[in-house]
Every structure is written in C-alpha cells, then in structure tokens.
Structure 1
C-alpha cells in the first residue's frame, strides 16, 4: 500500500513540537523512518475488522493491582533539574489562555 512521504518541513515541525533538536544531517534519516512507520500504520488501518469483537487484552485475566502504599517523593531540585524552564520552585509553562479564561 502506498502512502504519502513526509516532507522535511513536516519532520522539523514534529521535532519542534516534541522538543527534539535535529540537525540537518539527521532530518533525512528521520523523514525516511517516520514515513516508514506511517506506512505501517496505514497498512494496519486497511485491515478489515468488521465483525471482530473489540478487546482490551487477548487473555481473560483480572487486573492485579499493587498495594497503594506511600513512597518518598522525588526531591524538588532533582525534578526541576530536568525542566525546560522554572520560576523558583515551580515549573514555568507557556500561557495557554491569553486572558485567563472563564475560570
């Protein structure tokens, strides 16, 4: 089954949304790999599944839940070290609503 190839511009856009830095040499390889993955997804979407009963798991098992026990929290400084932006002891995130919304 044929599928549309991703453009370099689309790959760079996805990389930006994913906060991934991709240099010029890696873009072509990433474009090829992502196009191949999308081709596989297109093949799966083309499979006729009419009349197939949906399932969450192929085995008939009951969820086994671990005990809900408190555990030590991650140290704030370790957590913030991985954040792209911080303000004091808080994560800084881009504004979503310009006027604060109706909340």
Structure 2
C-alpha cells in the first residue's frame, strides 16, 4: 500500500506554502512514493556490519598554523569604499522594508 497519498502531498504543499495544482499533486504523489519505496529498499539492505559513510574516500582537512599578521588600518579598509562615515561603511538601509 502506498504511504504517500494526494492528501498528504497537498498538506505538505500547504505547510511549505506552495500552491500545487491537481496535476502537480498527482505527479508529486507518484514521485515521492517512488522515493520512499527506494529508501525502504536501501534500508533493508543496510546492515550493522557496514559502517555508514558520507564520502567513499576518506577526507582530511589541511590546516595551516594560525599566525597573526599585519592587519589593515580602518583608513586602509575604507579607502576604496563607495561611501563611508564615522569610520564605517555606509550602505542603504534595508530593515523595515516590506519584502
């Protein structure tokens, strides 16, 4: 029996605030059901003897020593700014605008 129903897909669309047409609900129902079936198949094959992995090849980060170096002065940092005031970058206000 199918775990994914058109009602569930419609409900998920409402939760995600996505308006879905009847055709989209039908198509997504089939697609999501196939995904759930495939995940179930993989879950049946997965065993405790096989460790989970996120990447087939072991990765290792390469770090360099964290050594403080010369930094820019405030004047140097602002020298190419299109607009600056009181030692800061001046940008257009965006807070409070309707999105």
User: Structure 1 residues 60, 5: closer, same or farther in 2, change over 3 A?
Assistant: closer
Question: Residue 21 of structure 2 aligns with which residue?
Answer: 23
Question: Which contiguous aligned blocks of 4+ residues in structure 1 show a shift greater than 3 angstroms?
Answer: none
Mapping of 1:77-96 within 5 angstroms?
A: 77=94, 88-89=96-97
Q: CA deviation at 1:31?
A: 0.7
Question: Residue 34 of structure 2 aligns with which residue?
Answer: 36
Q: Which has the higher contact order (CA 8 A, sep 6+)?
A: 1
- Partners in 2 of 1:76 and 1:6 — Cα distance? 45
What stretches of structure 1 of length at least 5 have no aligned partner? 66-74, 81-87, 92-103
* TM-score normalised according to structure 2 size: 0.55
- Partners in 2 of 1:76 and 1:39 — Cα distance? 49
Question: Residue 12 of structure 1 aligns with which residue?
Answer: 10
Q: CA deviation at 1:48?
A: 3.6
- Partners in 1 of 2:40 and 2:93 — Cα distance? 43
User: Structure 1 residues 55, 29: closer, same or farther in 2, change over 3 A?
Assistant: closer
* TM-score normalised according to structure 1 size: 0.53
